[in-house]
Each structure stands twice: as C-alpha cells, then as structure tokens.
Amino acid sequence: MKPKHPWTTYVKRAFCNWYNYAGLILFGGIALIFRQPGFIYLGAALELLYLYNLSVNARFRRHVDAQIASEQELDVEPLRVLLWPRIEAPLRERYGELARLTKRLESETADELRKRDPYYIENKRKIAVLLANYLKISVAVTRYKAYLAGVDQESIQANIDRLEEEVAEADERVQKVKQKNIDVLRKRLDKLVKAKANSEYLIAQMETIEDTMQLVVDQAITLTDPKGMGTQIDNLLFNLQETELIAAEMETFAELEHSLDDVIEMPKERE
C-alpha cells in the first residue's frame, strides 16, 4: 500500500518520541559512565535499525497518518488564510475574538494530564470544526450582504406594479413581452426575500456559535462537565448541517443574476 506521506515524515515521527529519546540517553549515559565510545557506535547502529524498521511498518504508518489527519483537522489556519479575503472586516474581527477565546484552552487548562483526557481532546477537535464552520458561514454572509446591497427591493416592486398596469392597455404582442418582464422581476423579488431570510438565519447561527464557544471555554477552564460540553457542541454541529445547505444557496442567487434574459423595462444592476 502506497504511503500517504514521504518516508522522511515517518522517520521523523519515529525519532521524535520519548521511547526513542530514552534509548539514546541510555546508550549515551553508558558510554559516558564506562568511557567506552563503542556503546555510542552500538547505539547509533541500533537507532538506524529502529528508525528503518518502524518507518516501513504498515501499522506505524497508519498510526502516523491518523495523527497527522487529526492535527490537520485541529489546524484551522490554512482555511482561514484561504477564506480571509472573502470575508468582510466586521466578521473578521468577530472571528478574531473567537480565535483568541479558544487559545485560553491552551494557556489556562492544557496541562499534561488534561491533554490526555479523551473528552478534552475530542472537544478541542469539535471546537476547531466550529471555527471552520464560522469561517465558511462568514463567507456566505458576506456574499449575501453584497448581493442584497446590489438589489433595490422597492424598485423591483415598483417596476412590477407599473408593468402590470401597462399590460392591461398594451396590444397582445407587447403584453407578452411585458408579462415576461413581470415574471422575471417576480422571480428576482422572491429570491431577494429568501436571500434576506437566509442571511438573517446565518447571522443568528454565527451568534449561536459565539455563545456556545464562550460557554465551552468557561466550562473547560472551570473543569466542569466535559462530557456535557461535548454534547452541546454535537447539537450545534448537527444544526449546522442545515446551515451549510443554506449557505450553499448563495450560488443559486449568483447564477440567477447571471442567467436572466435581457428584456425591456428591466431595472439595471449597479456595477
């Protein structure tokens, strides 16, 4: 089976662990005590054999692959860098507050025993997922706001009302064209109303994430109910599945605006 990472990655993971350090210290200490450099050569030979055997071991590679995947999941920074230019400044500031809040988990509670607590480890992973979702929702909210800022609901409704009055007095051929305009404008108006509702829903979910993160960090720092804390995050993550679908709907609004026919009496989009 082809390894997922370069061979040097597995060698580095094999070298950087306390069991290996203990062996190196042991042979170094023996050589120093007995003043026999041969123990150093023996230790070096055994070290090379150990690194080779472990780095090509399939089970060890799977263990390293799992570790790296877990670390990548906890690292939200690459996603932040990718999405940052597409997020408006106020939402960037709110994300920054959340990121600083989560750092308190490391600075105030992450002693060695706590790092090995399975609830603590899993909750840290879930918090990283929440941060990633917050970034994605921020992008969607920014796009919704830009879309809504470029469309005048009152102007669209006024055009619909005017065209409906003109249809009654126009001949049959003109009626068809004006009715087509009305249909398109109504479609835009429906999308606009839905876009507003979606934007408000996403903003409310962002506020829920902020409140949940504050509660989670407070509970972690006070060392209260880590299992219950994980359940709260699970419930929020479950609700965010619907949020992802609503955020994805922004694509349909963009597609609609780009695919409208050029018909008469259409209000012009702002450039």
Whether residue 84 sits in one domain with residue 58 = no
Residue type, 19: Y
On the 0-12 / 13-18 / 19+ scale of CB atoms within 10 A, 40 is middle
Across the range 258-264, mean pLDDT stands at 41
pTM: 0.62
State how far the Cα of 12 lies from the Cα of 6, in Å rounded to an integer: 10
- Model confidence at 89, pLDDT cuts 50, 70, 90, reads very high
Choosing from 41, 74, 107, the residue where a domain stops is 74
Whether residue 82 sits in one domain with residue 178 = yes
Two tokens at 264?
């008469």
User: 122: closest CA among 211, 208, 234?
Assistant: 234
pLDDT, the chain, mean:
76
pLDDT digits (tens, 9 = 90+) for 219-237: 666 655 555 556 666 666 6
The Cα-based distances of 6 to 10, 53, 78, 117 in angstroms read 7, 15, 21, 30
pLDDT at 88 over 90: yes
Whether residue 214 sits in one domain with residue 147 = yes
Whether the Cβ atoms of residue 233 and residue 126 lie closer than 8 Å to each other: yes
Choosing from 34, 54, 74, the residue where a domain stops is 74
Whether residue 30 sits in one domain with residue 81 = no
User: 144: closest CA among 246, 62, 10?
Assistant: 246
pLDDT digits (tens, 9 = 90+) for 170-185: 787 888 888 888 888 8
Choosing from 48, 74, 100, the residue where a domain stops is 74
Whether residue 260 sits in one domain with residue 200 = yes
pLDDT at 94 over 90: yes
Whether residue 168 sits in one domain with residue 223 = yes
Whether residue 198 sits in one domain with residue 89 = yes
Whether the Cβ atoms of residue 253 and residue 191 lie closer than 8 Å to each other: yes
Look at residue 166 in the predicted model and tell me its pLDDT: 84
Two tokens at 266?
């259409």
Least confident of 21-30, 100-109, 183-192, 196-205: 100-109
Number of domain units in the chain: 2
Whether residue 48 sits in one domain with residue 164 = no
Domain holding 151, by residue range, is 77-271
- Model confidence at 68, pLDDT cuts 50, 70, 90, reads low
On the 0-12 / 13-18 / 19+ scale of CB atoms within 10 A, 233 is buried
269 vs 235: which has the higher pLDDT:
235
pLDDT at 84 over 90: yes
pLDDT at 263 over 50: no
Percent of the chain with pLDDT over 70: 70
Whether residue 254 sits in one domain with residue 150 = yes
Whether residue 120 sits in one domain with residue 23 = no
Whether residue 120 sits in one domain with residue 253 = yes
Whether residue 115 sits in one domain with residue 44 = no
